[in-house]
Structure 1
Amino acid sequence: MNLRMVSLCALVAASVALASPARAQGLGMPTRMPVAEPATLAVAGAPAAPQQVQVDESALRYYASQNQTARVEAEIRRLQMLYPGWQPPSDLHLGMSVNPEQPLWDLLGAGRIQDLRAEVETRLRVDPTWQPPDDLLVALERMERRARLIAASEGGNHGAVVDIVEADPSLIVANDLDVMWRVADSYGALGNREQALALFELAVRSSANFDQRRVSIVKALVHVAPEEARGLLDLARMLPPTPDAASLAALETDLVRAEVGAFLRDPARTPPRAEALAVIEASAEQGRHAGDAALIGWYYRLSGDMMRALPFFELAVEQGGDTDARVGLALVLRDVGWRAEAERIAAAPTEDERLLSVFVELVAHDLLAEPPVPGSPERVQRFAETVRLLQSGDGAEALGWYAYQTAQFEASKAWFEQAMSWQPTATAAEGMIRTLYREGSRDQARQLLAEESRRFPTLAALEGDLAERRPSPQPAARSGGGGGGGDSRVLRAAEAQRAGRSSECLRLLDASGSRSPEASLIRGWCLLDLQRPHEAMAAFEAAGAGPRRISGDAAYGRSLALLRIGQSFAALDAVRGAAVSESQRAEIARAVLADLANRSYQQGQYGEALAALDRRREFAPETRDLSMLRVWALHGMGRTAEARQLVEALDRQLSTSETRRALATFNQISGLTGWR
């Protein structure tokens, strides 16, 4: 559609009421048919009686009822041309219409299209010879096209909007800014910026006041360049009525605000001018507009200047900014590394999914750290509840890996399964496979690996790498005990051990004939992986004669072997005074205390079990299985209310058959004793 033609049609339609014949048949209504008059007899010598002509004044009265003076005058001229000698009715402007079609025009004026059609159908049933006025049909068709245009616009169907208006350019009229704005927006969305700008200019010229012009200019900023929008502002300044200084200043600020907002939506645009940023910063600091502080904060964050963004987001929150400001503040705090402060903002009660997602991301990062940093049990519980609320695959996966690292395999399987149902990924599948293998379901793990490898080919690399890994030192390039061939096999044995191929590792060591401390240490790890702890303990003892770096790892390995055969306190003695790391020493302490808690509980020494669990908490967060042990130890000591409270929290975090059975037991106790 030619742009000049659109503008011309719009201006003509605004000033003249176009009366064009309509085809009622196209609307499902009968067309006007000639009706034969009854035959009459002429009387000889009598003068012919003048024929009375019925003039259709319905459109005229409708225009008059709507105070559309220009259309009233145009309709009067049209009727006088068709019916010479006809004069307008004297009651035209007195609202005393007796036109039988007036109720139809009233329905049309109210936009009640369906009611109008129903009324037309009713009249046709009552009087088949009646025909709706042509002007009414034309106006009805136009109103329906306008309704279709608005529906297409609301649905984001910009192509349909353009098709409708190009089929009927008369829809663009000076007094219908809503349609003009919608069509301009659709042209802009389709990339026709020139046509969009022309329509926004027409809207500015057609506006009755400066407020309407301001809306047109702000809407134009979404699609046109800032300098083009400034051209519209210059035009608005010149048109009457002349705006006051305050209105102009407000529009200038709106223009700058929209300029920054447009850049945030599309960073490929020309960045805002420095003067524009200064205007928004000043407005933000003076608190003149609630959203300005957050707006400038988002601009600086997008520009990568987090330290300039931070004070503006803080200011936005202080000024009572909306959730958008809190989201920005949490993200910037995270970006600059102040994760605890970011979590404090994101963890505040909210239903906003953006803030909840930031909270999930922050906690997931800690759970996936090495070692995991879960924080308090309440934090993990809140995290699990939020993960379920958002159905976050990433969050469920983080919980799965956390449970895996802390040997809570039932919980690990449940969370990996949940992650795969919400958001299947290769890492979630890997977690499930490794969990099955670690808990002893090795055939099931291999079957799942074969199935998931078809969906995630990268999982094929897990083949032969499923065994539990233990740290092993890199053997020296040459050891003092053998030839070059033997050393090569020791190196290959170390690689096999790290890959979980423990049997191959032992074959290579046997073939090497090496009895060096390095080879003995590698042999110990391979034997431990093969569940042969007594032989592993002997190998680690042999490796203990090596240099400090090897003897420390050997002491750690021997301690783990002692744990496997149930000698917890001997395991603790094995690392006392040895060159082991603090993390290794803590791991042994955790294992020993967990074993002590289990043994004490089995012997009915519930107080000692709780004491061991409390002592273990000093080294690491409590695993789920130990929390359940605490539940039953508390129950054994008669502290049933505490036990129930703990198991309810565990069930909310992850409901399993174990927690449900415990709750059922406590419910039964409550019913029998009246205890609450």
Structure 2
Amino acid sequence: MIRSAALLALCLALTPPALAQQAPQQDELLALSFYVAQKDATAISAEVRRLQLKYPGWTPPADLSRLNGGGPSAEIDQIYAHIAAGSHAEARALITRTQAAYPDWTPPDDMLALLNTAEGQKALDKALDDGQLDQALRLASGTSGLLRCDRVNNAWRIATLQEQAGRTAAALTTYRAILSACTEFDTISATLEKADAVADAAALQQMVAQATTRFPARATELTDLETRLLAGRGGAPARAAGPARVITPKPRPAPGAVAATPAPATGAGGGSAAAAARAGDWARCVQLTNGARSASALYERAWCVYNMDRTMEAVSAFQSALAAGLDAGRTRDARYGMALAYLKLKMPDNAANIAAATNFTRTQRVDIERQILDQRGVAAYQRKEYRKSIEYFDAMERVSGGIRRDLAILRAYAFLNSGNRDEARRQFELINDQLSTKESRDGLNATD
């Protein structure tokens, strides 16, 4: 099995992006057809040499008059249509009939490669669905194109089966191969997320280091990802902010989590409340700040009730803390907390008003603007304002450098509902190539 995993890794790393075109298309033969019609032997010879230099594997037909409309056209379109529809046997049968009707025609290499890959993908999907790991490995490594990075879902699914079969080392080898071969950062970060289920802390740190070497400009994001993943197993503490994440005051300022200075707090025990907050004991933090009037204690209380999903109370506590007087850093972070609370309450306009009047850190601003655009995009879609929804989602993608899968699917449907079927299909194809699911396949079917 180590040999199979190594072969899989090698294939993933070395599979080329696509086969080069090996024969001229019909529009490239127009000049040659013209010279044939003019019976210009010198020009014919020169044009044939030019085409053969460009396409070394191409041989012109013995009867050059067949170039002028003498080859298949509608048949080629039908072959590609069969391939796209998954009707692979019909595609091969039509290729055979076309060759019989046009003896000088040879199916281009890119057509055959596409058909072979499509057939291999169908067989691989069945093997993966049936849990046939060894068969999946044979198909993946034996069929060109199945382990390209634009089909990274295949490698991910194989790694999952390897993990389920107890082949931990093989699964890690597959994940490391993806980290070595693929160039899209979203693929790299998603792979680290998936590897977290099988890698121990040391292996995960090594994989993050491997990714950082390849993507030095994304070192901060990778460090944040490593911190969050390790925190999930009781390792380094999380530093995240946002409605779905725990926000804990810490000794160093971080988005949505700013520590006490702990100058001694007055009122209802703010120093102890800060310690409880750092430990994630929100209930004790709230108990210790009951009746608090000092800015410091109110600030701690606001974050604690926020993390307990007592959202309206969090808004009030942040407002009280601001009114009581906070230093500049805490004023900014309290306003950040208020904006997050409004977003939890699905009130993006209120959050936007706060953002417009506050000098947030870059991380805070990106987080707030991303969520505002997210909610406005969804709301526009629900109002059937599909073009406006697309604008919001596009803006969110530019702001945050990516878009969540569920929103990408919604955006694709927005294109479809606004009448842009071609762009909708392109979007669904991108989504499905990254990770094929019922939702992505349903989207593709909807564009047919």
* TM-score class, shorter: 0.3 to 0.5
Scaled by the length of structure 1, what TM-score is found? Answer: 0.32
Structure of larger gyration radius: 1
Q: Higher RCO, 1 or 2 (CA under 8 Å, sep at least 6)?
A: 2
Scaled by the length of structure 2, what TM-score is found? Answer: 0.47
